[in-house]
């Protein structure tokens, strides 16, 4: 690293463009303090100084400021970091690195309050770079419109299960399945709904979304977040129309594929859009609005299923599938008026528009510090030829691990198992033939209400606390639920449950669903969207969606079969995974609350485990620079 003695205070920089020739005293000081890097007789007159006033935005009460310098070696987009302490902000900071010939390289200086680790998980202190700005009405409305992308995903999740339980729908498209259910009486509750064909129809959307995600990242990067959301909404709208007027299975499947493509694009672009538009201190709340919209979409679909199932004539399923066009129209119409994010504008070379947009969304003209960081990140992005190959590099191992583990662990919470089994339990407390639809409405309502808890607390309590507390609550609910089912149903799946007993089981289900709704549900989308540097952000978010949709598809395909074979043991199976994921969060997930996206890299450099990957890379860069 560059020693502190290589930072020399001068009276004033040269006039004009901010460059001046170094004085002989300065050259002597640098040569004396950096003998291993500076050769005698080097062409020091070619050295140039880039002078920048550091911004002292963050101070401790004792007046000591913690400064962090970001140094870019020649021909490298990867910075070297140097941290030092000063009782006052230095008026000018000069940073040097030996090259051939030796020259002063570009540096940006900014203030950080602390890089101290906090907690077992390696969170960082709350003191960090604080960009100026505030929450504006413009940002709130933009994020509200963008988050409507969650409506299309949530609506499909809610509508598909209800439609596939309607007899007219089964008679038209899956007559063999309908005949089987009418002819075979199976009293084993564990195996009652084990139908691979219907499960494949439902989960095919996730397969289409998976494939679409592979292309969505490139389009989002090249054309912007807004264009990706607009395109996804249009394709979803086409799918809704095809499904509403479907006359055969082929038309129905094509419609499902269009829905999946739309979901793949919006799930990739919306979380990025929300994270980049939101101020750092309110990023969690605004980003979780995406998950809130998903829950609203699920609840709306469940209510529509309940009423359309009662329509005489057997065409209620068409109305349910066709109403998917409503959230699609909201998404498309809203996207037409949305601004693009400053990050995306900078990445596409529109710096003037980006600066103007940054001033508008932050509500202040003092955006120089944040804009400079965006430009620096964009330069790093342009130096990356293959974002996917770059994502596989060792220095991005922490982000890659999170891109894989968080969506996978989110699916291994077992939320699908609980949502599936709820109808059988609700039927025992007097809801009769409409039990499945009523139970879906109740669990959907709990899911939506609990999401508000996450919105209200995520930026105050942080991500780790919510995940740890939610994980603990899910573990308890899952094991208690499994035990209650085991006592009454045993391995045969046949039982006569009393009303008080069934109410207790239903309460366990609601406790589990609420825990998921304010922890792993929304944070499973929030955390991946905020941890990636700009140069790999689009590719990494695509990877998140790919992993999420892959395991959603796998779990949706096999969980009915596992329930039939493992019986009540399946609840213990997922409960064990919840223990694993809670331990993982405690030890390996750092806190990201309130940290600007462009400075998120420091949480990995300071983490007890992940720092070995980041520091190894920085050490190699330093050694390479020293050898030049």
10 has pLDDT over 60 = no
70 φ, ψ to 5°?
-110, 115
- What is the structure's pLDDT at 199? 72
407 has a pLDDT exceeding 60: yes
What would the two tokens of residue 41 be? Answer: 């007789």
- What does residue 129 show for φ and ψ, rounded to 5 degrees? -60, 130
Whether 112 and 58 have beta carbons less than 8 Å apart is answered as yes
List CB contacts of 352: < 8 A, sequence separation 6 or more. Answer: none
Structure confidence at residue 15 as a pLDDT band (50, 70, 90): very low
* Predicted confidence (pLDDT) at residue 37 exceeds the cutoff of 60: no
Whether the pLDDT of residue 362 is over 70: the answer is: yes
- β-pairing, 103-104 with 123-124? unpaired
Instruction: Calculate the dihedral angle through the C-alpha atoms of 619, 620, 622, 626, rounding to the nearest 10 degrees.
Output: 130
Helix locations, 224-341, DSSP H: 225-244, 249-277, 283-308, 316-322, 325-337
Most confidently modeled range among 82-91, 105-114, 136-145, 193-202 = 136-145
Q: Which two tokens stand for residue 131?
A: 């960009």
Please compute the mean of the pLDDT values over residues 281-289 and round it to a whole number: 87
Contacts of 35 (CB under 8 A, 6+ apart): none
Measured from the Cβ of residue 140, the count of other Cβ atoms closer than 10 Å reads 15
Q: What is the mean pLDDT of residues 51-79?
A: 39
Contact 26, 8 (CB under 8 A): yes
Residue 564 has pLDDT above 90, yes or no: no
Share of the chain above pLDDT 70, in %: 68
pLDDT value at residue 73: 46
Report which listed range, 129-143, 379-393, 474-488, 540-554, is most confident.
474-488
> How many angstroms separate the CA atoms of 205 and 208, rounded?
5
Average pLDDT, the chain: 74
pLDDT of 189 reads: 63
Q: Is the distance from CB of 209 to CB of 304 less than 8 angstroms? A: no
Smallest CA-to-CA distance from 452 within 587, 317, 289 is with 289
Cis peptide before 495 (omega within 30 of 0): no
**How does pLDDT run across 299-329, given as a tens digit for each residue?**
998 899 888 988 888 899 999 999 999 999 9
Name which of 288, 278, 279, 323 is nearest 304 in CA terms: 323
Average pLDDT over residues 222-236: 93
* Two structure tokens written together for 570: 């399946």
Cα 590 from Cα 245, distance rounded (Å): 49
pTM for the predicted model, two decimal places: 0.70
Separation of alpha carbons 355 and 428, rounded Å: 60
> What is the Cα 5 distance to its own chain's centre?
42
Burial class (CB in 10 A: 0-12, 13-18, 19+), 326: middle
Q: In this predicted model, what pLDDT tens digit does every residue of 124-142 receive, in sequence order?
A: 344 455 677 788 899 999 9
Indicate the pLDDT class of residue 465, thresholds 50, 70 and 90: very high
The pLDDT of residue 69 is above 50: no
What whole-number percentage of the chain has pLDDT above 90? 30
Return the structure tokens found at 46.
Answer: 């070619």
Rounded average pLDDT over 110-121: 33
Residue 413: the pLDDT is 93
Report the run of H or E that residue 17 belongs to, with start and end: none
- Joined tokens for residue 529: 């969207």
Q: Give the per-residue pLDDT at 480.
A: 93
Question: CA-to-CA distance for 606 and 125, rounded, in angstroms?
Answer: 10
Is residue 168 scored above 80 in pLDDT?
A: yes
Per-residue pLDDT at 425: 59
In degrees rounded to 5, what are phi and psi of residue 469? -70, -45
- pLDDT at 427 (0 to 100): 58
Integer Cα distance of 261 and 569 in angstroms: 35
**Cα 563 from chain centroid (whole Å):** 30
Please give the average per-residue pLDDT across 354-381, as a whole number: 84
Mean pLDDT, range 594-612, rounded to an integer: 84
Give the tens place of pLDDT for each residue, 186-225.
Answer: 556 667 656 666 777 777 788 898 889 888 888 888 888 9
> What count of residues does the chain have?
628
Q: Across-strand partners of 107?
A: 71
At 478, is the pLDDT very low, low, confident or very high (cuts 50, 70, 90)?
A: very high
């Amino acid at each position: 690293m560059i020693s502190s003695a290589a930072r020399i205070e001068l009276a004033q920089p040269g006039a004009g463009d901010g460059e001046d020739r170094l004085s002989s005293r300065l050259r002597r000081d640098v040569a004396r303090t950096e003998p291993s890097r500076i050769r005698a007789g080097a062409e020091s007159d070619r050295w140039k100084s880039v002078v920048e006033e550091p911004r002292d935005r963050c101070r401790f009460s004792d007046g000591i400021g913690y400064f962090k310098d970001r140094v870019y070696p020649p021909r490298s987009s990867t910075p070297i970091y140097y941290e030092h302490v000063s009782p006052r902000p230095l008026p000018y900071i000069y940073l040097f690195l030996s090259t051939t010939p030796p020259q002063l390289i570009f540096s940006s200086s900014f203030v950080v309050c602390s890089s101290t680790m906090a907690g077992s998980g390696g969170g960082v202190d709350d003191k960090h770079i604080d960009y100026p700005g505030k929450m504006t009405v413009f940002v709130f409305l933009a994020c509200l419109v963008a988050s409507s992308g969650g409506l299309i995903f949530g609506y499909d999740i809610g509508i598909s299960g209800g439609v596939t339980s309607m007899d007219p729908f089964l008679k038209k498209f899956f007559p063999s399945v309908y005949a089987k259910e009418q002819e075979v009486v199976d009293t084993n509750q564990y195996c009652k709904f084990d139908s691979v064909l219907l499960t494949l129809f439902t989960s095919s959307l996730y397969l289409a979304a998976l494939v679409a995600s592979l292309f969505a990242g490139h389009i989002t990067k090249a054309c912007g977040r807004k264009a990706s959301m607009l395109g996804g909404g249009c394709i979803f709208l086409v799918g809704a129309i095809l499904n509403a007027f479907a006359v055969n299975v082929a038309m129905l499947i094509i419609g499902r594929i269009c829905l999946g493509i739309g979901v793949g694009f919006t799930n990739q672009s919306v979380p990025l859009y929300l994270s980049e538009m939101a101020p750092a201190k309110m990023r969690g709340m605004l980003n979780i609005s995406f998950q809130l919209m998903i829950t609203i979409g699920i609840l709306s679909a469940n209510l529509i299923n309940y009423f359309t199932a009662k329509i005489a004539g057997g065409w209620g399923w068409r109305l349910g599938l066709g109403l998917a066009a409503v959230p699609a129209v909201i998404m498309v119409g809203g996207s037409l008026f949305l601004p693009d994010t400053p990050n995306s504008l900078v990445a596409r070379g529109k710096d003037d528009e980006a600066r103007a947009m940054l001033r508008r969304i932050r509500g202040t003209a003092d955006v120089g510090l944040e804009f400079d960081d965006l430009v620096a990140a964009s330069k790093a992005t342009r130096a990356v030829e293959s974002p996917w190959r770059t994502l596989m590099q060792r220095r991005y191992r922490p982000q890659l691990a999170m891109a894989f583990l968080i969506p996978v662990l989110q699916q291994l919470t077992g939320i699908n198992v609980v949502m599936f089994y709820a109808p059988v339990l609700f039927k025992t407390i007097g809801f009769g033939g409409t039990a499945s639809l009523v139970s879906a409405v109740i669990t959907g309502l709990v899911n939506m209400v609990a999401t508000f808890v996450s919105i209200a607390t995520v930026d105050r309590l942080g991500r780790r606390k919510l995940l740890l507390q939610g994980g603990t609550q899910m573990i308890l609910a899952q094991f208690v639920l499994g035990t209650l089912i085991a006592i009454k149903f045993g391995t045969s799946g046949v039982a006569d449950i009393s009303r008080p007993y069934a109410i207790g089981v239903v309460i366990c289900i609601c406790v589990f669903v609420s825990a998921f709704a304010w922890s792993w549900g929304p944070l499973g989308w929030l955390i991946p969207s905020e941890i990636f540097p700009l140069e790999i952000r689009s590719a990494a978010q695509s990877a998140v969606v790919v992993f999420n949709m892959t395991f959603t598809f796998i779990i949706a395909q096999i969980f009915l079969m596992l329930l039939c074979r493992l019986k009540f043991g399946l609840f213990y199976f997922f409960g064990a995974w919840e223990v694993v994921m809670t331990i993982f969060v405690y030890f390996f997930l750092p806190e990201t609350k309130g940290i600007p996206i462009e400075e998120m890299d420091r949480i990995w450099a300071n983490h007890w485990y992940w720092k070995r990957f980041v520091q190894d890379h920085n050490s190699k860069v330093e050694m390479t620079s020293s050898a030049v």
